[in-house]
Amino acid sequence: MSETSLQSASVERRREKRVQVRLPVEIRGTDRSGTRFDERTTSENLCRGGVAFTLSRELELGANLEINIPLPRAGQQGETDFATRGQVRHVSVSGSGLVFGVAFTGPRFHRMFLSESATDA
């Protein structure tokens, strides 16, 4: 395999644009020790199909979670907070701790960000 094909094979392929955005996120699930938890944190990034965030506890790959993202009250009339389910797909270490990448297994995130509309127009 050539160096070029190795590089292209290692490039991350995303179906949706990931947006670096800090939103409040409420996570419920079971941690690595088997303890149920309910924790508030902040997103590191978000796309329509998933979210990344840090937690104060460790989670297993494949762990199933309940996710709630409170939406600003200035949103569209009648809009409710975003609630879904997700599964831990990857874990990485950052300066702020463990970052969990979670793919939504329930409803997908439906809001659009300014950075999406500016580049997709």
Q: For residue 30, what are the β-bridge partners?
A: 36
pLDDT of residue 72: 72
83, two tokens: 């609630």
DSSP H helical segments within the chain, as ranges?
A: 3-10, 114-120
Report, as ranges of residue numbers, the positions in the chain whose pLDDT lies below 50: 1-11, 114-121
Q: Thinking of the domain 15-120, which architecture would CATH place it in?
A: Beta Barrel (2.40)
pLDDT of residue 77: 59
The rounded radius of gyration (Å) of the Cα atoms in the chain is 16
Dist CA 46 CA 62 (whole Å): 19
pLDDT per residue as tens digits for the range 63-94: 999 999 997 765 555 567 899 999 999 999 98
DSSP 8-31: HHHS---SS--B----EEEEEEE-
Dist CA 106 CA 120 (whole Å): 25
Domain ranges, ordered by start, for the chain: 15-120
Dist CA 18 CA 56 (whole Å): 23
Q: Look up residue 70 and give its DSSP letter.
A: P
Dist CA 90 CA 96 (whole Å): 16
